């Protein structure tokens, strides 16, 4: 016959199949052996075989109704089956057997906490601690209840007490992370979440909040890593939005779009969600969907200037110039001194062939913001179309003085030099543009034209073919 000590040792070590065999051996020797039914029930419960576990534990309780541990385990079965009321009744039976039985107080307290009755839970957790000062779960439960009640100091105190008993109790470091996060101490919060994850790598709340804090600190790649794990374990709208923001900050717009699309933007009350989706779509050249997203943002806030401005840009790219004019004009209705809107309006007028209005809008932008390289570059383009090549040259050179690494301005400069008949300078400027942006098809096409005028036909052909390839 296998003795009780051996069975207890196997149970404590989690060797449940061996424990079951040992219990079976004990029952062959004595079919009424209480401890054999008790520990067989424990192992079956741990293995998730709830019906068989219940049969064994009820038999053990029938043989010995003075053991609160048996009734507690029966309650645990009901809890696993989702029957909270029956679980509570059996925990209470354990307390009828032993009114100082800490695990029963602790488990009833957890049920109260899960139901939102946090003050009752705190009282029960304290009773559990009084009955067994080493019961770590009760300290963690009390800390979680105090956190829910908004008492950060008590939450911190009980979590620290749990860590004083054992350095690695699951949940305690996460609670401390939440406490420090609420106390605006992100560095301590990050440290606590990282400790929690070293104990439990699947702690989804720690992964989510760690990702949020890393994102706020500008550690974007690390934030993505944490949030990706959180998303795999516990997908949520909050996690999707944080991941989208992280990818957007990294310039990974396609990945950001996939995350934004996990959220129903049509039901969102936060204008920044459709707005940011619109920006990502705009950056990937998906102007049609960008227009839809930006319009949703505007529906949520009709005075949201950035959305009107980007809507104008998307409409302009689609050639919907009348609508682009209206959207850009709306920005100026809301903010008459917005230099970017004046630049954009000038660009739309230029595309419409209304060069006088384009000139007036761009000059107004420069009046408001004299050192704008974009406005000077655009002004150069307008002067060129008006045939004022000297002014076009001066404006474009001014743009490059302000922003020397602008490939578009160098390309435009090459075009102006070509119009002036200064082909060597036109060639140098266009090559500089391609050095900065090698895959610019317009620059390759212009380069082909310059080589042709220089009589270098092989190079002209190569550049034109490259343009067509792109």
pLDDT in tens, 1-24: 458 999 999 999 999 999 999 999
Instruction: Give me the pLDDT at residue 1, please.
Output: 46
Instruction: Give me the pLDDT at residue 385, please.
Output: 94
- pLDDT below 70 — which residues of the chain? 1-2
25 C-beta neighbours (distance < 10 Å), count: 15
- Cα–Cα distance for residue pair 442/383, rounded to 1 Å: 20
Q: Which tokens go with 95?
A: 């307390």
Instruction: Give me the pLDDT at residue 470, please.
Output: 85
Instruction: Give me the pLDDT at residue 3, please.
Output: 83
Instruction: Give me the pLDDT at residue 460, please.
Output: 84
Q: List, for residues 240-270, the tens digit of each pLDDT value.
A: 999 999 999 999 999 999 999 999 988 889 9
Instruction: Give me the pLDDT at residue 2, please.
Output: 54
């Amino acid at each position: 016959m296998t003795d009780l000590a051996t069975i207890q040792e196997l149970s404590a070590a989690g060797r449940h199949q061996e424990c079951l065999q040992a219990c079976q051996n004990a029952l062959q020797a004595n079919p009424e052996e209480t401890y054999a039914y008790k520990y067989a029930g424990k192992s079956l419960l741990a293995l998730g075989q709830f019906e068989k576990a219940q049969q064994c534990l009820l038999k053990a309780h029938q043989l010995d109704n003075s053991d609160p541990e048996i009734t507690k385990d029966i309650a645990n079965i009901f809890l696993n089956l989702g029957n909270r009321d029956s679980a509570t009744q059996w925990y209470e039976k354990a307390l009828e057997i032993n009114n100082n039985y800490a695990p029963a107080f602790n488990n009833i307290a957890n049920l109260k906490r899960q139901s939102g009755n946090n003050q009752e839970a705190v009282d029960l957790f304290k009773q559990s601690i009084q009955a067994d000062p080493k019961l770590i779960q009760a300290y963690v439960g009390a800390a979680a209840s105090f956190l829910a009640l908004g008492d950060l100091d008590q939450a911190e105190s009980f979590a620290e007490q749990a860590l004083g008993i054992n350095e690695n109790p699951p949940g305690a470091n996460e609670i401390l992370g939440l406490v420090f996060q609420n106390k605006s101490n992100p560095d301590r919060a990050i440290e606590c979440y990282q400790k929690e994850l070293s104990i439990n790598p699947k702690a989804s709340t720690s992964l989510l909040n760690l990702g949020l804090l890393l994102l706020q600190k500008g550690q974007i790649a690390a934030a993505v890593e944490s949030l990706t794990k959180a998303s795999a374990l516990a997908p949520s709208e909050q996690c999707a939005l944080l991941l989208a923001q992280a990818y957007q900050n990294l310039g990974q717009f396609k990945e950001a779009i996939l995350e934004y699309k996990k959220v129903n933007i049509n039901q969102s009350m936060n204008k920044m969600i459709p707005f940011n989706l619109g920006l990502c779509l705009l950056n990937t050249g998906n102007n049609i969907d960008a227009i839809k997203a930006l319009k949703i943002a505007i529906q949520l806030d009709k005075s949201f200037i950035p959305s009107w401005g980007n809507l104008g840009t998307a409409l302009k790219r689609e050639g919907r110039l009348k609508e682009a004019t209206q959207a850009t004009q709306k920005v100026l209705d809301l903010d008459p001194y917005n230099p970017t809107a004046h630049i954009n309006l000038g660009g739309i007028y230029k595309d419409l062939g209304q060069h006088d209005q384009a000139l007036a809008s761009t000059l107004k932008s420069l009046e408001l913001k004299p050192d704008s390289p974009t406005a000077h570059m655009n002004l150069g383009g307008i002067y060129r179309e008006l045939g004022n090549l000297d002014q076009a040259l001066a404006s474009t050179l001014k743009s490059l003085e302000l922003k020397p690494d602008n490939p578009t301005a160098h390309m435009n400069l090459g075009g102006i030099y070509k119009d002036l008949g200064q082909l060597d300078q036109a060639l140098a400027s266009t090559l500089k543009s391609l050095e900065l942006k090698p895959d610019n098809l317009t620059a390759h096409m212009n380069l082909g034209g310059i080589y042709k005028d220089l009589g270098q036909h092989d190079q002209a052909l190569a550049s034109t073919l490259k343009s067509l390839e792109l």
